[in-house]
Amino acid sequence: MEMLNVTVNGIAVSVPKGSTILEAARAAGVEIPTLCYMKEKNEIGACRICVVEATGARGLVTACVYPVTEGMAIQTNTAKVRAARKTTLELILSTHDKNCLSCSRSTNCELQKLCLEYGVDSKAFEGFKPVYELDYSTPHLVRDNNKCILCRRCVAVCNEQFVSVIGANNRGIDTCIGQPFDLTLNDTPCISCGQCTVVCPTAALVEKDDTDKVWAALADPTKHVVVQTAPSIRATLGECFDMPIGTNVEGKMVAALRRLGFEKVFDTNTAADFTIVEEATELLERVKNGGTLPMITSCSPGWVKFCELYYPDMINHLSSCKSPQQMGGALIKTYWADKMGYKPEDIFVVSIMPCTAKKFEVGRDDMSAAGNGIADVDVALTTRELAKMIGRAGIKFTALPDEEFDTALGVDTGAAVIFGATGGVMEAALRTANDVLTGKDNKEIEFHEVRGTDGLKEATYNIAGMEIKVAVASGAANAKLVMDKIAKGEADWTFVEIMGCPGGCVNGGGQPIQPQYVRDTVDLKAVRAQALYAQDQKMELRKSHNNPIIKEVYENYFKGGYGCHKAHHTLHTSYVARQKFAK
């Protein structure tokens, strides 16, 4: 590989030919500010914040797209550079809603941070300022174009997710990010993944805040308010309190939830174990009876919505199992309600989820195991919303003791913990399938071929003389690759796991927001996932079917085996073909 020698602020560094000034600066340990740049996704030089001086250039150049040349001397912090960046920021503010005190991204806004660093005058440029109506149309997010800086990060990530339902409309001063034909977002084939919310540098796109509903329920003496947390939350929540990425904060998370006033704090891991035994039963039934194959997991509501919108004629490939969130709510309002002598309608279930699509999922039809239209889950909050509640309650998260989940709905298993990483559902299913098909307790339970952050993985396993071919995909673009291959008859997989977000739940649209510099330089998916695999490694129980609550519920409540009539009524659902655009 040909290397080029350059200097960055006098620091000598060698970088591969074809590198940009931004990449050279990072190699030299110098950070150049950016707003629009996303590594390998949005390298468009649009915001002009990254301008620098460089020999051979006629003026200031954008570091994110300008290539280095041999012997180039780069200056990133001259008076000319600083003045240009300050002016650019002041121009951005001339059309920006500057009501920072009530903004949900205050103190975690990349624009605000740069304005503070460069000492901008927020009133330096005054003039025409368009006013946009907020888009509240979806159940999962709010768009506020008054805070949009036209960086197009959201457009790039939506395109990466294949759906591409947003883009730049109009020209000049009238340019805005929106949908075709000025449709509301809810009238487009948006899959609710929320990836746009984690890359937005301001608060132009944020999750819909449902915390007031939870506060109201907690204050209602007639309600039994319980909470369940998804596997990945323990590996990400700490980031909201400045703890290192990948810190497992399970104990402190449980302690915080108790102090918020929840009557019970349950682990969705138990519901994930139910998902595995029901899913494995459904898969074996399809294999034995010539059912539709490959069977595809239904844990990710973003993926399920993608299938309903873009591949409605292939819905029969989806497992009918509810997601762990919905199974958890269903078990709470049936089995646990019966055990406690509570009426289902008096129970208020809150889920802490990594995914904004979970907000959409709680309102889906056929999600009422208790009947009479009683929703399995009442409110789904993101990791970010939980952090907001903890902060508002004055709870010092990092000082909390470690506490354990309530065990009325089972104990933790390693198989469920790894659900939060792409490939985790597949590995958990393989652990159970291996035992069921061989009729023994197998000691080899790690299936490394389905691990890792690659967007598409394939593997073949020989279990009890049966060749099982599997695939694991994450991100809607990779889901499209899988579905197209199945549609063309080119796939011979038996079982497929698909997650709507790249990297799975640890990288969900409701996870903590990290500055783009961190997202560009740290593999968040891998670091967060490692926390889950590390916990799995330490667990005494590492297979879903070994969770003692599984045996208890099937014997004493469902009164039948996996997939029995009552279990199917409680834990399974149905799907619908959806129109891409409203008529």
> Which DSSP string corresponds to 287-350?
HHHT--SSEE----HHHHHHHHHH-GGGGGGB--BPPHHHHHHHHIIIIIHHHHT--GGGEEEE
pLDDT, residue 128, reads: 81
Q: What pTM, to 2 d.p., does this model score? A: 0.97
Beta-carbon contacts of 133 under 8 Å, excluding residues fewer than 6 positions away, are: none
Q: What is the number of helices (H) and of strands (E) in the chain?
A: 20, 17
Q: What pLDDT score does 127 carry?
A: 77
- List the beta strands (DSSP E) in 59-139: 61-62, 73-75
Q: pLDDT-derived band of residue 412, with 50, 70 and 90 as boundaries?
A: confident
Structure confidence by residue, pLDDT tens digits, 16-69: 999 999 999 999 999 999 999 999 999 999 999 999 999 999 999 999 999 999
Q: Supply the pLDDT for residue 581.
A: 81
Strands 295-296, 495-499: pairing kind? parallel
CA angle 557–561–565, rounded 5-degree value: 70
Percentage of the chain with pLDDT > 70?
Answer: 100
Contacts 24+ apart (CB under 8 A), 557-564: 557/334, 557/335, 557/338, 561/281, 562/277, 562/278, 562/280, 562/281, 563/278, 563/281, 563/282, 563/285
DSSP classification of residue 29: T
Confidence grade of residue 143 (pLDDT, cut at 50, 70, 90): very high
Query: Is the per-residue pLDDT at 561 higher than 70?
Result: yes
| Amino acid identity for residue 12 in this structure | A
Would you place residue 458 in the very low, low, confident or very high pLDDT band (cuts 50, 70, 90)? very high
Instruction: Confirm if 252 and 239 have CB atoms less than 8 A apart.
Output: no
> What local confidence, expressed as pLDDT, does residue 315 receive?
98
Q: What is the mean pLDDT of residues 97-118?
A: 96
> How many other CB atoms sit within 10 Å of the CB of residue 580?
13
Sign of CA dihedral 148, 357, 211, 250: negative
Q: Please give the average per-residue pLDDT across 419-423, as a whole number.
A: 97
Rounded Cα distance, 459 and 440, in Å: 22
Q: Rounded CA gap, 539 and 533, in Å?
A: 10
CA distance 430 to 416: 12
Give the pLDDT confidence score for residue 444 in this predicted structure: 85
Has residue 87 got a pLDDT over 70?
Answer: yes
Alpha-carbon distance 194 to 300, whole Å?
A: 13
Average pLDDT along the chain: 96
- Cross-strand pairs, 348: 225
CA neighbor of 275 nearest in space, from 470, 424, 466, 441? 424
How high is the pLDDT of residue 582?
67
**Long-range contacts formed by 174-183: CB under 8 A, 24+ apart:** 174/130, 175/150, 176/130, 176/132, 176/145, 176/148, 176/150, 177/143, 177/145, 177/148, 177/150, 177/152, 177/204, 178/145, 183/581, 183/582
Poorest-confidence range of 47-51, 129-133, 238-242, 253-257? 129-133
Instruction: Tell me what pLDDT residue 583 has.
Output: 59
Classify 487 as helix, strand or coil.
helix
Domains of the chain: 3-77 (3.10.20.740), 95-206 (3.30.70.20), 212-571 (3.40.50.1780)
- Which residue has better confidence, 408 or 578? 578
Angle 79-93/110-118 helices, nearest 10 degrees? Answer: 130
Place of tokens 């912090």: 77
Residue 304, token pair as written in the block: 């399920």
The token pair that represents 577 in the structure block: 């073909």
In sequence order, the 6+-apart residues with CB closer than 8 A to the CB of 30 are: 8, 9, 11, 76
pLDDT value, residue 192: 98
Q: How far is it, in rounded angstroms, from Cα 447 to Cα 533?
A: 12
Structure tokens at 202: 């301001």
What pLDDT, in 10s, does the model give residues 509-545?
999 999 999 999 999 999 999 999 999 999 999 999 9
Residue whose token pair is 């159970």: 432
* Average pLDDT of the residues in 281-304: 96
> Strand pairing partners for 62?
51
| pLDDT given at position 129 | 84
**Pair 494, 426: CB distance under 8 Å:** no
Count Cβ atoms below 10 Å from residue 469 Cβ, excluding itself: 15
Of 51-55, 125-129, 293-297, the range with the lowest mean pLDDT is 125-129
Mean pLDDT along residues 198-221: 98
In this structure, which amino acid lies at residue 501? C
CA distance 179 to 48: 25
Whose structure tokens read 């194959």? Answer: 293
CA 38 to chain centre: 18
